[in-house]
Amino acid sequence: MILKRGVVMVRLIEHKKIIAGCIILILIVFTIVIIMLPQRTTEIKNNIVYMSGYYTEYPDKDDPRYYIEFKNDGTYVLMYDDSRRNEENYDEDGDGSRPIIDMYFGKYKIKNGNFLIKPSEEAGVGFKDTVAVKNNRINSYEYINYENDKRTAWRIIQKSKWGKYQLGSLNADKDSLDKQRPYYTLYNKSDIKKLPSSPEEFRKQFKMDKKAEQERLAEQNR
């Protein structure tokens, strides 16, 4: 009888060990998944690229998205990338859309824990279609200098009441994020680790269609 009880006790202990081991394994896997998943940004650091989709969602692989990086010298780089959609998702209902990437360079200031950004330069490229995107071949390039343009609007990266940073337009009072217009929640997981530091560096990433380049130069020299 005593021997049977001992066997039962041993089995119970082994059973508990197996259950405990399974629980520990589940917790480890859960922790790894949490660490690997994109997290909404609660702290902004210099020289780190943050990414956003529309409103609160992390972008799917074919969604447009923003990237932003703040530099130690008080400047920032903002990229809007709408070059990842499938071909059938451009020019819907004849809206004329095509793959594009726009870059904004400027200075930022911090006010009440929020980041205010204003571009001094903008550069943008356009692609004929998604095949051109894959080949890294552009058919348009545009550069704008905003240094002396007082009409250039500020944007804001503001902490929400839940402590998550969101990018968007300033409201009419120029003191907070305008939730009546599109806004973008920043995430700490970006598929780009470093953004171009100047319009020139950005332009050098692409090859340009020869005919389009000739037309651009002719327009520039007029």
Q: Strand 207-208 vs strand 137-138: parallel, antiparallel, or unpaired?
A: parallel
Say if residue 100's pLDDT is above 50: yes
Look at the pTM and tell me if it is higher than 0.85.
Answer: no
Mean pLDDT of 85-111: 94
Percent of the chain with pLDDT over 70: 78
pLDDT given for residue 7 in this prediction: 53
Mean pLDDT for the chain overall: 85
Say if residue 119's pLDDT is above 50: yes
Say if residue 29's pLDDT is above 50: no
pLDDT given for residue 31 in this prediction: 41
173 Cβ contact partners less than 8 Å away, ≥ 6 residues apart: none
Mean pLDDT of 154-163: 93
What 3-state class would DSSP assign to 102? Answer: strand
pLDDT given for residue 18 in this prediction: 66
How long, in residues, is the chain? 222
DSSP for 43-86 reads ---TT-EEEE-SBTPPPPTTS-EEEEEE-TTSEEEEEEEE--S-
pLDDT given for residue 211 in this prediction: 72
Kindly indicate the confidence band of residue 8, based on its pLDDT and cuts at 50, 70 and 90: low
